[in-house]
Amino acid sequence: MTIIDGKKLSQKIREEIKVEVNEMKKEGLTPGLAVILVGNDPASQTYVKMKKNTSAEVGIYSVVHEFPETISEKELLSTIDMINENPNIHGLLIQLPLPKHIDTTKILERVSPAKDVDGFHPYNMGRLVEGLESFVPCTPLGVMEMFKEYKIDLYGKDVCVVGASNIVGKPMWALLVNEMATVDICHIATKDLKEHTKRADIVVVGVGKPNLITADMVKEGAVVIDIGINRLDNGKLVGDVDFENVSKKASFITPVPGGVGPMTIAMLLKNTLKAARNFAKKGS
């Protein structure tokens, strides 16, 4: 059994990005990232702080636009328009969730597809499904980097994706299908989850339910990717997989924390660098 070390891999990727950013700066271009944070959700504030710190670490300029929970949709859309027009900002992400009075779909669709480093715009999602060049949501993109680094072949493999969100499950499905895997996607309405996970060569789970995937639900030698992150009453962070018991059967498995999480931020930086590169090409 091999533990997939997302922390180590993300550090390696960040070092590579740092070198590229320095080269870009020599040519007179500093990649810029803007983050919009609405309200005072502690988890969102923590994520945004991490994004800002890691951006600074690799030399990417970043700015956080913080707004109270009472901000109107109109004001938010106006801010997005301003950032879309700013030539010094190449990537823009909206920290989710947004307050209930804000139409999340309308907000995400207002972000310029060329600056959509989260990969949530329907334009980018559509291109992803068609296997065309696009910005890919950071978490599933990070999982694909893990497969590549650990030489886990996807061609013809049976993969079960548990969770069908627009942020993780659906783009994960598209990326895997594009690599010629046979993908089974499960969700809250799936009748017998075990029946699906048990026959899979690779199980990818991200629903936010501790110990959802137990040892009897995976076959011997399966690759298990745990995207879930949950805080227990005792404060401990765990994923959606019963790591202790499932790891005894898996050939490869990601831990929580230290697995997919660090890769998500690394991919955000990579997408921002890509957006800056695209901007430079357009201007040349």
CA atoms within 13 A on the CB side of 64: 18
For residue 235, give both structure tokens.
């404060």
Determine the distance from the C-alpha atom of residue 276 to the mean position of all C-alpha atoms in its chain, rounded to a whole number: 19
> How do residues 203-246 score in pLDDT, each as one tens digit?
999 999 999 999 999 999 999 999 999 988 898 999 999 999 99
> How do residues 47-66 score in pLDDT, each as one tens digit?
999 999 999 999 999 999 99
Q: pLDDT-based confidence at 283, cuts 50/70/90?
A: low
Residue 6 has pLDDT above 60, yes or no: yes
Q: Where are the alpha helices (DSSP H) in the chain?
A: 6-26, 42-58, 73-85, 104-110, 122-129, 138-149, 169-178, 193-198, 243-246, 260-283
Residue 282 has pLDDT above 90, yes or no: no
Could you tell me if 134 and 128 are in contact, meaning their C-beta atoms sit under 8 angstroms apart? yes
What mean pLDDT is predicted for residues 259-268? 96
- Whether the ω angle into residue 140 lies within 30 degrees of 0, i.e. cis, is no
Q: What per-residue confidence (pLDDT) applies to 62? A: 97
> How do residues 101-120 score in pLDDT, each as one tens digit?
999 999 999 999 999 999 99
The helix/strand/coil state of 199 is coil
Q: What per-residue confidence (pLDDT) applies to 43? A: 85
Closest among 18, 34, 19 to 92, alpha carbons compared: 34
Q: What per-residue confidence (pLDDT) applies to 85? A: 97
Catalytic residues: 51, 95, 118
> How do residues 123-162 score in pLDDT, each as one tens digit?
999 999 999 999 999 999 999 999 999 999 999 999 999 9
Residues 232, 235: Cα–Cα separation, whole Å: 5
Q: How many CB atoms lie within 10 A of CB 7?
A: 14
- Sequential DSSP letters for 13-42: HHHHHHHHHHHHHHTT---EEEEEEES--H
Closest among 2, 49, 35, 7 to 261, alpha carbons compared: 7
Domains (range + CATH), the chain: 28-112 (3.40.50.10860), 138-261 (3.40.50.720)
Residues 277, 182: Cα–Cα separation, whole Å: 33
Q: What per-residue confidence (pLDDT) applies to 228? A: 94
Could you tell me if 81 and 112 are in contact, meaning their C-beta atoms sit under 8 angstroms apart? no
For residue 277, give both structure tokens.
């590169």
Residue 284 has pLDDT above 90, yes or no: no
Could you tell me if 90 and 115 are in contact, meaning their C-beta atoms sit under 8 angstroms apart? yes
Q: What per-residue confidence (pLDDT) applies to 4? A: 98
Q: What is the mean pLDDT of the chain?
A: 96
Residue 42 has pLDDT above 90, yes or no: no
Q: pLDDT-based confidence at 70, cuts 50/70/90?
A: very high
Tokens 């907000």, located at residue: 107
In sequence order, what are the residues at sequence separation of 6 or more whose Cβ sits closer than 8 angstroms to the Cβ of residue 260?
6, 139, 142, 143, 146, 225, 226, 227, 254
